[in-house]
Structure 1
Amino acid sequence: MIRHWSAIEGDLARDHGITAPELARMSTRRFLTLISALPGDSRFAQAWKRTPRRADSPEDIARITGIPAE
């Protein structure tokens, strides 16, 4: 989720009118509820669909994290 933070913040502002200070004070439960309620065409939902879920090699981990494999 941190990787797509700008999409999350933008979607929550657009769809729910939430400001950055409100987001900073939000409970985890509320945050996850609002994220799960975002429409499928939201920026975060689209980015999340493209995010790999498995990392089986150092190259996969490097691609996901942006930290070069050694």
Structure 2
Amino acid sequence: MIRHWAAVEGDLSREHHVTAAELASMSTRRFLVLIGDLSDQARFPRAWQRTPRRADSPEEIARITGLPAQ
């Protein structure tokens, strides 16, 4: 998420009118609710989907892909 912080901050400002000061003092719960409520036009969800994930175990690969662990 830190990698895409500009998109996060921009999306929250544009869609929810959250200022940087409000974001800095926001609870984790509220932050996650607002992130989860971003529209299809938001930049962060698309950037997050393109972010490679590191998978070190068959269980982690299964969790990411939805396929059973081998």
Q: TM exceeds 0.5? A: yes
Q: Following the alignment from structure 1 to structure 2, what is the Cα–Cα distance between the partners of residues 39 and 51?
A: 19
Q: Following the alignment from structure 1 to structure 2, what is the Cα–Cα distance between the partners of residues 40 and 54?
A: 25
Q: Following the alignment from structure 1 to structure 2, what is the Cα–Cα distance between the partners of residues 34 and 14?
A: 12
TM-score by length of 2: 0.74
- Ranges in structure 2 where 5+ consecutive residues have no aligned partner: 57-70
Deviation at 1:40, TM superposition (A): 2.5
Q: Summarize the alignment of residues 1-70 of structure 1 with structure 2, pairs less than 5 Å apart.
A: 1-55=1-55
- Ranges in structure 1 where 5+ consecutive residues have no aligned partner: 57-70
CA RMSD in angstroms comes to 1.1
Deviation at 1:19, TM superposition (A): 0.2
Q: Following the alignment from structure 2 to structure 1, what is the Cα–Cα distance between the partners of residues 36 and 22?
A: 18
4+ residue runs over 2 A deviation: none
Q: Following the alignment from structure 1 to structure 2, what is the Cα–Cα distance between the partners of residues 4 and 31?
A: 15
SS of equivalent to 1:18: coil
TM-score by length of 1: 0.74
Q: Following the alignment from structure 1 to structure 2, what is the Cα–Cα distance between the partners of residues 31 and 18?
A: 10
Count of matched residue pairs = 56
Select the structure with the greater relative contact order (CA < 8 A; seq sep ≥ 6): 2
- Higher gyration radius (CA): 2
